[in-house]
Amino acid sequence: EDQVTQSPEALRLQEGESSSLNCSYTVSGLRGLFWYRQDPGKGPEFLFTLYSAGEEKEKERLKATLTKKESFLHITAPKPEDSATYLCAVHPQGAQKLVFGQGTRLTINP
Amino acid sequence: ETGVTQTPRHLVMGMTNKKSLKCEQHLGHNAMYWYKQSAKKPLELMFVYSLEERVENNSVPSRFSPECPNSSHLFLHLHTLQPEDSALYLCASSQLRGTGNTIYFGEGSWLTVV
């Protein structure tokens, strides 16, 4: 069964304190791995797509990396506006849907 | 104009009411989705439409009835709902292709069943 597990469930950091969020997955075949950001009361906002192990993508203070079993979302020198829930999802082979993890709720204190 | 637009943003309905959620995508995509998001649970896929045909129905109760009249519009018709159906309902769209399909979400419709 295709499955996505995100850790930690919640993370509280001080402004400027870098850290990483983890997304572990098991799929029969991977067509893509996705990261989204979701602010309270809003729909998820697309951040990155990764397709193969070793791939990396960056956007401002965020960098996503991918291995054959997991993905990391690295946050460098975060600011309070980076506070949100970060969702990871995989697109399994042969499926027309994404399978989501439960998310990591990130809080950056000023 | 945002890529995926959902209306209404908030809806309160009684258990005997009939209402509909509407979604419109302006991205030229050929697939549309309904997802349900409840507190402390992962996003749950409800329905997938590809080229206006329903291709997936994830064991959703019949009190939820989707309709996709064309590739840009998607509806979710609601009737005789239960309080546990209260959640954020998200519409999304994507362009189907060989590699992973990036899906884009709307802002969601908050549904409260009383």
* Cα Rg of chain A, angstroms: 13
What DSSP element (H or E) covers B37? strand B31-37
| pLDDT surpasses 60 at B1 | no
Report yes or no: A20 and A7 within 8 Å, Cβ to Cβ: no
pLDDT at B98: 64
Span between the terminal Cα atoms of chain B, in Å: 33
User: Looking at residue B79, what is its pLDDT?
Assistant: 93
Given CB atoms, is A4 within the 8 Å cutoff of chain B?
A: yes
pLDDT in tens, B29-47: 999 999 999 987 889 999 9
Using CA atoms of B3, B4, B5, B8 in order, give the dihedral in degrees to the nearest 10: -160
How are beta strands A10-14 and A104-109 bridged, if at all?
A: parallel
Residue B102 has pLDDT above 90, yes or no: no
Contact A100 B43 (CB under 8 A): yes
Q: What is the pLDDT of residue B50?
A: 86
| B51, β-bridge pairs | none
Q: What is the pLDDT of residue A28?
A: 85
How far is C-alpha A89 from the chain's CA centre?
8
Q: How far apart are CA B92 and CA B105, in angstroms?
A: 4
**d(CA A100, nearest CA chain B) in Å:** 6
Taking a C-beta distance cutoff of 8 angstroms, is the pair A62, A91 a contact? no
Q: Which residues contact B97 (CB under 8 A, 6 or more apart)?
A: none
**In which residue ranges of chain A is pLDDT below 70?**
none
Residues 8 through 37 of chain B touching chain A, CB cutoff 8 Å: 31, 33
Query: Looking at the predicted structure, is the pLDDT value of residue B4 above 90?
Result: yes
Q: What is the pLDDT of residues B43-89, one digit of tens each?
A: 999 999 987 777 777 789 999 999 999 999 999 999 999 999 999 99
- At residue B112 the predicted structure's pLDDT band, cuts being 50, 70 and 90, is very high
DSSP class of residue B96? -
Predicted pLDDT of residue B64: 95
